[in-house]
Chains A and B, each alone.
Chain A
């Protein structure tokens, strides 16, 4: 299955950066994602609750981080062309009540499947000099 509206397979090279973005997360971002996704776990908006379960404070939803990572890939791949996406949530992103967390996303070609015309895109997500997602990989159906 290759996607006619997908990015061109020819010319892709392993290691090539296909997309990057810096995203500013605030408490507003978390509340917005909670509403959009239906994930109302209070560790994502209530500091007192987050601390009571041993967290340093409110943290971003792992799925918000993965969702943005997918959007960064999608900006290059085109909507609907990511056929597989996986990650392990390695570290949380603390988001202060006032202020912001700036998160850097870099998507690069990790492997190419010439037969299926699939590109594996490896997504590096960094905050405060640390890797937030481990083995974050998207498989993109190319044209």
Chain B
């Protein structure tokens, strides 16, 4: 069954804010081969001009994918997760993420296209801080193959 094109415009969240910790930043930095000490030591981060340990460029995906999950499990959207392939991804950072941030995420379904047995679902997740100021915009497109 193709993904429901009428789902365009739906929004989910914000849910409980995500608390960014030094430990998670280090763990993520280790996993993506991000070598800078500014991901690991508060002192090194301060030397680079940050208030605390700074997150690697793609760390925001961790928060965005939790938000995107609400789209995937919405039965009225109709995404079969076992048939999903990640098609493309874009991050726009309004400011770097640092340890201590409390980030809220709202995900919007911006586009659904069904064509030739594949549905392309584009979501946009807006991340904001405690003050409601924009942190990052994460745009993700999933390709969902229909059952043959």
Contact = CB atoms under 8 A, between A and B. Distances in A.
Nearest to A72: B33
Contact of A37 (B31, B36, B49): B31
Contact of B32 (A62, A64, A82, A83): A64
A52 B96 CA distance: 40
Interface in B48-88: 48-50, 54, 56-58, 61-62, 65-66, 81-88
Given A5-B49, A85-B90, A71 B34 contact: yes
B88 to A, nearest CB: 4
Contacts, number: 119
Contacts of B92: 83-84
Nearest to A37: B62
B90 A70 contact: no
Contacts of B12: none
A68 B88 contact: no
Contacts of B66: 38
B6 interface: no
Interface string A69-99: 0111111001110111111110000000000
A75 B35 contact: yes
A71 B56 contact: yes
A58 to B, nearest CB: 14
B38 interface: yes
Interface string B20-54: 00001001111111111011000001001110001
Nearest to B53: A79
Nearest to B83: A53
A63 B86 CA distance: 9
B91 A84 contact: yes
Interface of A: 4-5, 21, 23, 29, 32-33, 35-39, 41, 53, 61-64, 66-68, 70-75, 78-80, 82-89, 138
Interface of B: 24, 27-36, 38-39, 45, 48-50, 54, 56-58, 61-62, 65-66, 81-93, 96
26 contacts: A5-B48, A5-B49, A23-B33, A38-B62, A39-B65, A53-B82, A66-B89, A67-B33, A67-B56, A67-B58, A70-B34, A71-B29, A71-B34, A72-B33, A74-B36, A78-B36, A79-B45, A79-B48, A79-B54, A83-B92, A85-B57, A86-B91, A87-B88, A87-B89, A87-B90, A138-B57
Given A29-B31, A84-B92, 7 more contacts: A36-B30, A36-B62, A37-B61, A70-B32, A80-B50, A80-B54, A82-B57
